[in-house]
Structure 1
Amino acid sequence: MKQPPGSRVTTALLAVAILLLPLFPQGIAAAARPEIHSGYYSRDGNDDLAAKTTGYSIYIKFYPDQWVIMLYVPYPYSLSVDAAALHKVFRNVKREARSKSYIRGSFGVLKEEATAHIETYKMLDDDTAMFECDGMAPCRAKFSGDTMEMIKAGMINNHIIGFTRVDD
């Protein structure tokens, strides 16, 4: 049977569209992925009950080269540390760190010593990073816009800790 003119072109275009269609949702998801490397994340309640209970405020910075720094600044001293100082601390710790480690010091910025925990992380498919944060099990950090939920394994339930991004 003879095909009408242009039907081969239409068939070819339809075939190409069918082959390329599965690629678009992944491209859209990748474009919608939150930017996690600008700024750092500050634990919700750093200036409140969470910091009073633990004795420190927690700040976390993720780097494109798969490094993460968790900074523990003593409370109530952390109340007097501003964002610019914390950005400098993260830069200095990153410059100083050569491997996974804990480093304690003022990092050339702080008036009191803080602890920096340096680890590597792995990005999972669903906007979640996985990294070591304590001895029980790896932590997962789930990103959404300017917030992050850190999920730590517990004996009975997971502990979910909220964080908010502070931009550069």
Structure 2
Amino acid sequence: MAEGIGHQGVPEERKPVVSTEPSLPRAADEAALYRVARRRRREDVQRKERVDVRYSLAEKKAITARARSMNIAGAHLIGAVITAYLEGDLILPGQRTPVDDHIDELNALRAQLAKIGNNVNQIARILNSGGHPHPVDTATLTQAQRTLDTVRATIADIDTASYQAATAKAAAR
């Protein structure tokens, strides 16, 4: 009855459409970065603490080009972005987010429902293996089928919610 429920994996990932055109920065992203960089105010006292960082040539060119387009110094841009991260306004690539926790909870719920489906399926298998069914067996089998249908529908809903959360997270990057 419930062989299809079992220990199924997470929903298959749908492959994104890959465009050969270079992606353009969105205006909102540019504005957000500019706001972050402008949020760091000058202090009355000169900043004297220093942190040395090494970049590849390409990274340095990208940093200086972005800073120049914003009419600020590269060090100001880097300091503003680091400060924004420390204040919780930015998330690093690969960093866990509340969406990750949400997806993990959905996957755990899905696993628990799959176990329920397996248990109901085992009950139905035992009731169907006997020679002459008892009148109570028919009612139990009917209820087992309804339970399996509910479990299947709920697992499908969880799969949809997980996929939507993962898609939303990927779009937010």
TM-score (norm 1): 0.26
Task: Say which structure, 1 or 2, has more relative contact order (CA 8 Å, 6+ apart).
Answer: 2
Structure with more strand by fraction: 1
Q: Which has the larger radius of gyration?
A: 2
TM-score (norm 2): 0.25
Structure with more helix by fraction: 2
